[in-house]
């Protein structure tokens, strides 16, 4: 579990805590919990956070393909649980009001490979702080990754690359 008190205060970004460890049940089915619920009074934005505090297994860290596949399957299970909670939240009331816009994200202790393949925004604590500081205007991890990890790398469109090929400026051709 992540100690949410240990990183930069979310109040710095205009959020206030509205709930913690909120357990969700649908009938007898346990849907898990929301680790942290935040609300931004200025924008009305609700941010629901699932915290994961595990360390990346060494065999995953050292690029074992079998370990990576197994780890990705395990972390996909997180995503499935989160998707179930999101569906539940859209149809049920809690002790606090979930206002739109609303984001449900996973925050991990360390960068996680799930972030590259998940439809749920998955960020490390450091990435989470940067995402909040930048105004949460990015909803897909691929775009966040480019902004956070490659801010000064130029990007080029396929059309621009094709034009450079036609102008004789590059030898590589755009694959079709």
pLDDT of res. 17: 85
Among residues 65, 173, 56, 67, which one has the least CA distance to residue 115? 56
Q: What is the pLDDT along the chain (176 residues), one digit of tens a residue?
A: 566 665 557 778 888 888 888 888 878 888 888 888 888 888 888 888 888 877 777 777 677 888 888 888 887 887 888 888 887 877 776 666 666 778 888 888 877 777 877 888 888 888 888 888 887 767 788 888 888 887 777 777 788 888 888 888 887 777 76
pLDDT of res. 116: 79
> What is the rounded CA–CA span in Å between residue 42 and residue 175?
47
pLDDT of res. 44: 85
Tokens standing for residue 12? 């710095």
Indicate the domain borders of the chain: 4-139
> What is the rounded CA–CA span in Å between residue 173 and residue 166?
9
Q: 83, 29 in Cβ contact below 8 A?
A: no
Among residues 12, 74, 6, which one has the least CA distance to residue 40? 12
Question: Does domain 4-139 correspond to CATH entry 3.40.1350?
Answer: yes
Is residue 131 packed enough to be buried (19+ CB in 10 Å), middle (13-18) or exposed (0-12)?
A: buried
Q: Report the predicted TM-score, pTM, of the whole model to 2 decimal places.
A: 0.71
């Amino acid at each position: 579990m992540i100690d949410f008190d240990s990183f930069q205060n979310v109040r710095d970004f205009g959020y206030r805590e509205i709930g913690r460890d909120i357990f969700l049940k649908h009938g007898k089915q346990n849907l898990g919990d929301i680790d942290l619920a935040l609300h931004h009074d200025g924008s009305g934005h609700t941010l629901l956070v699932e915290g994961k505090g595990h360390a990346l297994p060494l065999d995953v860290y050292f690029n074992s393909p079998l370990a990576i596949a197994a780890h990705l399957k395990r972390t996909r299970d997180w995503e499935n649980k989160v998707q179930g909670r999101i569906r539940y939240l859209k149809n049920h009331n809690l002790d606090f009001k979930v206002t739109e816009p609303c984001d449900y994200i996973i925050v991990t202790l360390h960068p996680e490979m799930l972030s590259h393949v998940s439809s749920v925004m998955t960020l490390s604590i450091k990435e989470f702080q940067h995402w909040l500081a930048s105004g949460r205007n990015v909803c897909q991890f691929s775009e966040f990754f480019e902004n956070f990890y490659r801010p000064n790398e130029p990007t080029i469109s396929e059309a621009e690359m094709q034009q450079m090929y036609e102008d004789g400026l590059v030898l590589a051709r755009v694959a079709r």
